[in-house]
């Protein structure tokens, strides 16, 4: 392990750099339990048990970015979904500023040319309905082999150092945190919606066909399900629906 420092617009933060870890989220979780001062970032060159969403494995061979950022942030447990939306927005935003047209699949998959460029897994530490610390774990396909439906950033851009991608990603996450602290989800949602690719898509919900019509003020997906003579709008939490496209 090497302890480095990384200079960001928001200030300098410690970066723990590992060759190989089971999961950067897991290591950061242990560090937080041991009382490390936040913010702090953890990167691994490869992960043997990378955690994806919904209990899936995140394949983490060398060549990808595997990064977790730990932040202190106080918010209600019921608002945890906000973190997913804002973090995806922040990273998409900085990559767009670099000329890379990344957009989002709700809640926070990073898409490039309609294919999955990266994913985010948020974990939180909470007490009595209040979140106190958050772990934002992000995997971005840089020059690693990608599964079907995935895309590499290196095919598309001149970001040719992993450190450069790590720095941009962290800038995006801090931008998101600052924006959210100042403006709440209300202020960040219009920016998020500008980058969202999901509206107007057909989805499956409990075996029925639905149409995505928006995202509500809580960050839930608004889906309209219609049958002859009836129309009903449902607010969906992540995991409730299958967004049947990459
Ligand atoms: C997804 O399933 O879309 C989310 C994938 C998140 C993967 C990243 S890689 C770095 C961090 N550590 C983990 O174990 N998972 C996240």
Residue 208 vs residue 173, higher pLDDT? 173
Least confident of 10-14, 86-90, 139-143, 201-205: 201-205
Secondary structure element (H or E) that encloses residue 191, with its range: helix 162-195
Q: Are 136 and 83 in contact (CB under 8 A)?
A: yes
Mean pLDDT of 68-91: 97
Mean pLDDT of 58-78: 97
> Strand, coil or helix: what is 146?
coil
Q: Parse the chain into domains and list their residue ranges.
A: 2-195, 202-236
Q: Is 58 in the pocket of ligand 1 (CB under 6 A)?
A: yes
Q: Can you give the pTM of this predicted structure?
A: 0.96
pLDDT of residue 230: 86
Q: Mean pLDDT across the chain, nearest whole number?
A: 95
Residue 119 vs residue 227, higher pLDDT? 119
What separation in Å is there between the alpha carbon of 233 and the centre of ligand 1?
31
Q: Is 16 in the pocket of ligand 1 (CB under 6 A)?
A: no
Q: Is 219 in the pocket of ligand 1 (CB under 6 A)?
A: no
pLDDT digits (tens, 9 = 90+) for 157-170: 889 999 999 999 99
Residue 246: which pLDDT band, with cuts at 50, 70 and 90?
Answer: very low
DSSP single-letter state for residue 92: H
Bond before 39 cis per omega within 30 degrees: yes
Residue 244: which pLDDT band, with cuts at 50, 70 and 90?
Answer: low
- Return the structure tokens found at 22: 């089971």
Angle made by CA atoms 216, 218, 200, in degrees to the nearest 5 = 30
What separation in Å is there between the alpha carbon of 194 and the centre of ligand 1?
24
pLDDT of residue 229: 85
Nearest-CA residue for ligand 1 atom 3 is 119
- Return the structure tokens found at 54: 């919904």
CA separation, residue 46 to residues 67, 142, 244 (Å)? 10, 12, 29
| Integer Cα distance of 234 and 102 in angstroms | 28
* Superfamily the domain 2-195 falls into: Bira Bifunctional Protein; Domain 2 (3.30.930.10)
């Amino acid at each position: 392990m090497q302890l480095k420092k990384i200079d960001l617009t928001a200030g300098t933060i410690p970066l723990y750099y590992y060759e190989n870890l089971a999961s950067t989220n897991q290591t950061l979780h242990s560090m937080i339990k041991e009382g490390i001062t936040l913010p702090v970032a953890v990167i691994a060159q490869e992960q043997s048990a990378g955690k994806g969403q919904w209990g899936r494995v995140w394949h983490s061979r060398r060549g990808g970015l595997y990064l977790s950022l730990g932040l202190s942030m106080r918010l209600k447990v019921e608002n945890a979904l906000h973190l997913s939306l804002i973090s995806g927005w922040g990273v998409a935003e900085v990559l767009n500023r670099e000329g890379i047209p990344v957009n989002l699949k709700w809640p926070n998959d990073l898409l490039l040319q309609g294919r999955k460029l990266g994913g985010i897994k948020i974990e939180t530490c909470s007490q009595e309905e209040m979140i106190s610390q958050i772990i934002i774990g992000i995997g971005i396909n840089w020059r690693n082999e990608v599964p079907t439906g995935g895309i590499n950033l290196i095919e598309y851009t001149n970001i040719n150092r992993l450190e450069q991608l790590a720095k941009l990603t962290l800038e995006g996450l801090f931008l998101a945190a600052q924006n959210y602290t100042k403006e709440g989800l209300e202020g960040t949602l219009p920016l998020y919606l500008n980058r969202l690719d999901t509206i107007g898509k057909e989805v499956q919900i409990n075996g029925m066909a639905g149409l995505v019509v928006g995202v509500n003020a809580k960050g839930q997906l608004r889906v309209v399900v219609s049958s002859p003579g009836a129309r009903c709008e449902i607010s969906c939490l992540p995991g409730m629906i299958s967004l049947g496209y990459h």
